């Protein structure tokens, strides 16, 4: 027998996934609560059991996606044999948000201009960035400890490296011409590794 918590989580997840589909078709502003409910096959009561507004739904969409991305990044980086390999894995996972079609579709919904104008957006975006930068900070600390990244300042460098790779990711999401995924990874590494002393450590 399913517990209430499991049922509630499944219902929230269904609403979040339905919102992604409805917003891909109609945009953030164009996707109404009725559209989302029709897509999910749920009632108005179900929506308001979880969310007071579409802005609250946006927060849940961002939270669920950022938690999934952060968990995927952490698992891949933890399995990497070295700090340098873990850094490359982190960068590649971030790039996947724009270069893998399914992930790019989800990121495009959350990063649309209409979604950015929602009252909840700044808080949602900040929480997502924090979740994605935390594994990177751990990688930089690992590299500083083992001498791979002697110049690393993890708390400062983490957000900076995120900004570097996100500029490549965001350009792709907005349809601007740019490098292939391997080229983008090489480009990011070319900037990042010298800044944290990785080249010095190899000498």
Q: Of 51, 71, 87, at which residue does a domain stop?
A: 51
Task: Give the whole-angstrom CA distance, residue 87 versus residue 160.
Answer: 14
Q: Identify the band that residue 5 occupies on the pLDDT scale cut at 50, 70 and 90.
A: low
pLDDT at position 62: 83
Q: Are 86 and 139 in contact (CB under 8 A)?
A: yes
- Region 54-73: mean pLDDT is 85
Tell me the longest C-alpha to C-alpha distance in the chain: 64
Mean pLDDT score of the chain = 87
Instruction: Give yes or no: residues 16 and 33 share one domain.
Output: yes
Could you list the residue range(s) of the whole structural domain that residue 182 is in? Answer: 54-202
Q: Are 60 and 14 in contact (CB under 8 A)?
A: no
Task: Give the whole-angstrom CA distance, residue 179 versus residue 98.
Answer: 12
Instruction: Give yes or no: residues 146 and 71 share one domain.
Output: yes
Instruction: Give yes or no: residues 142 and 61 share one domain.
Output: yes
Condensed to tens digits (0 to 9), the pLDDT of residues 66-109 reads 888 888 888 988 899 999 999 999 999 999 999 998 888 888 88
Instruction: Give yes or no: residues 127 and 61 share one domain.
Output: yes
Q: Which of 99-103, 172-176, 177-181, 193-197 has the lowest mean pLDDT?
A: 172-176
Task: Give the whole-angstrom CA distance, residue 1 versus residue 163.
Answer: 46
Instruction: Give yes or no: residues 11 and 86 share one domain.
Output: no
Instruction: Give yes or no: residues 167 and 186 share one domain.
Output: yes
- The secondary structure of residue 149, as a DSSP letter, is S
Q: 192: part of which helix (H) or strand (E)?
A: helix 181-195
Instruction: Give yes or no: residues 145 and 47 share one domain.
Output: no
- Region 157-168: mean pLDDT is 92
Q: Identify the band that residue 4 occupies on the pLDDT scale cut at 50, 70 and 90.
A: low
Q: Examine the pLDDT at 61 and tell me if it is beyond 60.
A: yes
Task: Give the whole-angstrom CA distance, residue 186 versus residue 61.
Answer: 31
Q: Identify the band that residue 203 occupies on the pLDDT scale cut at 50, 70 and 90.
A: very low
- Region 33-50: mean pLDDT is 91
Instruction: Give yes or no: residues 110 and 43 share one domain.
Output: no
Task: Give the whole-angstrom CA distance, residue 133 versus residue 162.
Answer: 7
Q: Of 9, 25, 51, at which residue does a domain stop?
A: 51
Q: Are 54 and 60 in contact (CB under 8 A)?
A: no
All residues at 6 or more sequence positions from 82 whose CB lies less than 8 Å from its CB, including other chains? 148
Per the structure, the count of domains in the chain is 2
CATH number of the structural domain spanning residue 45: 1.10.10
Q: Of 30, 51, 72, at which residue does a domain stop?
A: 51
Q: Identify the band that residue 1 occupies on the pLDDT scale cut at 50, 70 and 90.
A: very low
- Region 143-162: mean pLDDT is 96
Q: Are 144 and 150 in contact (CB under 8 A)?
A: yes
The string of DSSP codes covering 106-148 is HHHHHTSHHHHTSTTHHHHHHHHHHHHHHHHHHHHHHHHHHTS
Instruction: Give yes or no: residues 114 and 21 share one domain.
Output: no
Instruction: Give yes or no: residues 70 and 29 share one domain.
Output: no
Helix ranges restricted to H, the chain: 4-30, 33-40, 44-50, 54-78, 83-99, 101-110, 113-116, 121-146, 154-173, 181-195, 198-202
Q: Which of 3-7, 53-57, 115-119 has the lowest mean pLDDT?
A: 3-7
Instruction: Give yes or no: residues 160 and 65 share one domain.
Output: yes
Q: Identify the band that residue 200 occupies on the pLDDT scale cut at 50, 70 and 90.
A: low
Instruction: Give yes or no: residues 101 and 187 share one domain.
Output: yes
């Amino acid at each position: 027998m399913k517990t209430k918590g499991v049922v509630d989580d499944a219902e929230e997840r269904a609403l979040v996934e339905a919102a992604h589909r409805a917003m891909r078709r109609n945009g953030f502003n164009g996707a109404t609560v009725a559209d989302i409910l029709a897509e999910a096959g749920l009632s108005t009561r179900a929506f308001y059991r979880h969310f007071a507004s579409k802005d609250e739904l946006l927060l849940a969409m961002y939270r669920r996606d950022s938690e999934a991305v952060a968990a995927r990044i952490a698992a891949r980086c933890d399995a990497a044999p070295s700090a340098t390999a873990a850094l490359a894995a982190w960068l590649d996972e971030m790039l996947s948000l724009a270069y893998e079609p399914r992930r790019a579709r989800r990121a495009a919904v959350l990063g649309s201009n209409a979604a950015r104008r929602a009252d909840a957006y700044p808080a949602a975006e900040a929480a997502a960035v924090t979740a994605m930068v935390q594994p990177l900070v751990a990688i930089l600390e690992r590299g500083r400890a083992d001498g791979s990244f002697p110049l690393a300042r993890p708390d400062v460098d983490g957000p900076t490296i995120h900004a570097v790779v996100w500029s490549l990711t965001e350009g792709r999401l907005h349809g601007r011409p740019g490098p292939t995924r391997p080229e983008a990874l090489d480009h990011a590494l070319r900037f990042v590794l010298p800044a944290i002393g990785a080249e010095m450590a190899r000498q």
